[in-house]
Amino acid sequence: MSMIRGISDRNVLDEFAEEVCEIVEKHVKYIVVSGFVAISHGRTRATEDIDMIIERIDKKKFGELHDDLIENDFECLQSPKMEDIYEYLEAGDSIRYVRKNTFLPPEMEIKFCKDKIDEMQLKTRRKFEFTGLDIWFSSIEMNVAFKEEYLGTDKDMEDAQHLRIIYRDSLDEKEIQKIKIMIKILRKNGKR
Amino acid sequence: MVRDKSHAEQIVRWAEFVRNNSIDKWKSAVNLLVNSQYDKAARFYKNLEKTEDGRKILERLREERKKRRPQKNSSSKSI
């Protein structure tokens, strides 16, 4: 794998994402999903946040992860109190970490795995040599399906189109359709 | 739906370029775009710090951002 590159090869988002992911990986299984997947595959657009899904963990384990992030100069925007942050996660909310003493993006938006699709996303997570990044992502099929079936904005459709071109020869269309059906069943209250 | 024909064509053209070239060829363009947007925002905030009014705006922005409620799992922009 050609994942060891110079700092100059990485942009602000790459550096932020790799730093957070390296810490999170020590405590819990995670995946990065959505916009950053497309951007790290060469899509030319910016984003303020990177979306991450983590396995459900208990408060003690989350406390260890939170402490590690704090020790490495990140802070949670919603609250400095671990108990409060954990409550947000438990309630199905996402929490946002940024570099300490700045309220500026980029930020890592973290949420708990919430259903069978998220479990499947975690189970089928991938690292993509194409990106040059040492980060676990959800599969391309998952991202394409979610963007086309669930999110559906111009930006999302363009992300999906970009990924479809990059992985033209290897994309599993049947899998995408299967995931789209799961989305329809499990996320009926979704946007589309 | 994509925005317009020329925009749609550019999406395809760029994706084909990324697909058909090594990371060294396309990554620098992506880095330039991403870094410049963050640099520009940082410069904007730095300029705000220079004046009293600007500092008040910054403080307000900071507080607003911290107060923002966490987003529900089903938010429109999240998987």
Search chain A and give the residue with CA nearest B44: A104
H or E stretch covering B7: helix B5-20
User: Residue A50's closest CA among A74, A79, A82?
Assistant: A74
Nearest chain B CA: its distance from A139 CA (Å): 13
CB atoms within 10 A of CB A158: 23
Residue A166 CA to residue A41 CA, distance in Å, equals: 8
Give CA–CA dist A23/A35, Å, rounded: 21
Instruction: Report CB contact under 8 Å: B38, A12.
Output: yes
Smallest CA-to-CA distance from A34 within A174, A169, A158, A180 is with A158
Q: What is the mean pLDDT of chain A?
A: 92
Instruction: For A35, list phi and psi in degrees, rounded to 5.
Output: -55, -40
Phi, psi for A118 (deg, rounded to 5): -65, -40
For residue A46, which residues of chain B lie inside 8 Å, CB to CB? Answer: 33-34, 37-38
Estimate to the nearest angstrom the gap between the alpha carbon of A116 and the chain centroid: 17
Q: Which chain B residue is nearest to residue A95, measuring alpha carbons?
A: B70
Q: Per residue in A40-99, pLDDT tens?
A: 999 999 898 999 999 999 999 999 999 999 999 999 988 999 999 999 999 999 999 999
- Residue B1 is nearest to which of A94, A130, A154, comparing CB atoms? A154
Sign of CA dihedral A76, A78, A80, A84: negative
The tens-digit pLDDT sequence of chain B (79 residues) is: 556 788 889 999 999 999 999 999 999 999 999 999 989 988 888 899 899 999 999 888 877 777 665 555 444 456 6
Question: Is A162 domain-assigned?
Answer: no
Q: Which CATH number fits the domain that encloses residue A107?
A: 3.30.460
Tally of domains in chain A: 1
In a domain, A145, yes or no: no
User: Is A27 among the domain residues?
Assistant: yes
Show the domain range for A91.
7-138
Q: Phi and psi for A134 in degrees, rounded to 5?
A: -95, 70
Asked if A47 contacts A36 with a C-beta cutoff of 8 angstroms, the reply is: yes
The pair of structure tokens assigned to A97 is 């970490």
How far is A17 from chain B, CA to nearest CA, in Å? 13
Length of chain B: 79
**Greatest alpha-carbon span in chain A:** 47
Assigned domain for A55 exists: yes
Return d(Cα B72, Cα A91) in angstroms, integer.
8
Asked if A143 and B79 come within 8 Å (Cβ–Cβ), the reply is yes
